[in-house]
């Protein structure tokens, strides 16, 4: 049994290391693991050193390697392994990381005071959904326009924004940032329709340059849909996701997004 003291000590140390690394969920921070492993090392060394005979048995294989009495393979493994491990550690600490740098993103930037859509200048502050305004007293007509918006949505938007308007369409995972989830309280339900129109008409490229990087895959819909079609699609994304647009507050003050 004494012959195997070093092996048992190493096996014990490794099983504590892997037990803590693989068996503890969520994974513990590296600094805590370091503390446990230092205590484990000290504990094992104290146990080994407490008995002279055990200590000599523990040192015997090490002495054999360094005195050249151990088998060749064991000597090569130890003598080449130590500098290799040290080199690997140094490389891990100094190698440049390939992770993308962290870039914060403003999800709802301040909209411009005016923007261009379908070749016209549009004043963002006074912009209203003309369809909703015209059909306010006529729910049946509004419902018809919403149904037309539904068709537009499933012909153009659902690939990204999803079947259930939850931002999980077929292509959604291919994009970063991912498409907006219209059921989330943090998207269209906190936005005025004018803001939503601006975002749909000008898409990712219409986002303000000051707040880059945007890298949004949202297409520039004014190139593909008429003004009417965009407003209809907007009617539908509110109705279909069970949300309502944000409106001006009573005092008429500007709300920030
Ligand atoms: C190619 C994928 C794609 C398609 C198709 C697409 N979108 Fe988007 N959309 C995105 C992505 C990605 C975002 C999130 C990034 C951003 O805000 O630009 C987004 C964001 C939006 C936002 C902003 C929501 C917010 O909270 O700011 C609106 C509104 C929107 N889309 C409406 C539409 C409408 C309406 C259509 C169809 C006419 C459509 N989208 C089609 C990818 C797409």
What is the reported pLDDT for 255? 47
Contact in structure between 167 and 179 (CB atoms under 8 Å): yes
CA of 161 to the centre of ligand 1 (A): 7
d(CA 111, CA 246): 15
Could you identify the atom of ligand 1 that is nearest to the CA of residue 196?
29
d(CA 207, CA 223): 16
Joined together, the tokens standing for residue 151 give 């068709």
* Cβ(199) – ligand 1 distance below 6 Å: yes
Contact in structure between 148 and 232 (CB atoms under 8 Å): yes
Q: What is the pLDDT along the chain (257 residues), one digit of tens a residue?
A: 567 888 899 999 999 999 999 988 888 888 899 999 999 999 999 999 999 999 999 998 888 888 888 888 988 998 899 999 999 999 988 888 777 766 667 778 888 899 999 999 999 889 999 998 888 888 899 999 999 999 999 999 999 999 999 999 999 999 888 999 999 999 999 999 999 999 999 998 888 875 566 678 999 999 999 999 999 999 999 999 999 998 865 444 444 44
* Cβ(231) – ligand 1 distance below 6 Å: no
d(CA 38, CA 144): 71
CA of 159 to the centre of ligand 1 (A): 10
d(CA 221, CA 200): 6
Burial of 232 (0-12, 13-18, 19+ CB in 10 A): buried
CA of 158 to the centre of ligand 1 (A): 10
């Amino acid at each position: 049994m004494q012959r195997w003291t070093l092996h048992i000590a190493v096996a014990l140390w490794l099983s504590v290391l892997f037990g803590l690394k693989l068996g503890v969920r969520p994974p513990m921070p590296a600094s805590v693991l370091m503390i446990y492993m230092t205590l484990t090392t000290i504990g094992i060394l104290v146990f080994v050193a407490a008995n002279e005979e055990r200590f000599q048995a523990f040192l015997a294989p090490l002495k054999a390697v360094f005195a050249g009495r151990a088998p060749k393979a064991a000597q090569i493994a130890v003598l080449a392994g130590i500098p290799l491990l040290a080199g690997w550690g140094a490389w891990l600490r100094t190698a440049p990381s390939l992770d993308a740098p962290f870039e914060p993103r403003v999800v709802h930037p301040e909209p411009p005071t005016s923007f261009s859509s379908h070749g016209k200048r549009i004043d963002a502050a006074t912009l209203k959904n003309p369809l909703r305004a015209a059909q306010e007293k006529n729910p049946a007509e509004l419902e018809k326009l919403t149904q037309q918006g539904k068709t537009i949505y499933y012909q153009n938007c659902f690939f990204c924004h999803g079947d259930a308007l939850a931002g999980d369409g077929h292509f959604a995972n291919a994009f970063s940032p991912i498409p907006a989830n219209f059921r989330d309280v943090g998207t269209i339900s906190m936005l005025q329709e004018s803001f939503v129109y601006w975002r749909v008409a000008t898409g990712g490229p219409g986002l303000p340059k000051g707040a880059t990087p945007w890298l949004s895959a949202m297409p520039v819909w004014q190139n593909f849909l008429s003004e009417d079609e965009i407003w209809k699609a907007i009617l539908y994304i509110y109705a279909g996701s069970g949300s309502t647009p944000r409106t001006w507050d009573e005092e008429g003050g500007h709300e920030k997004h």
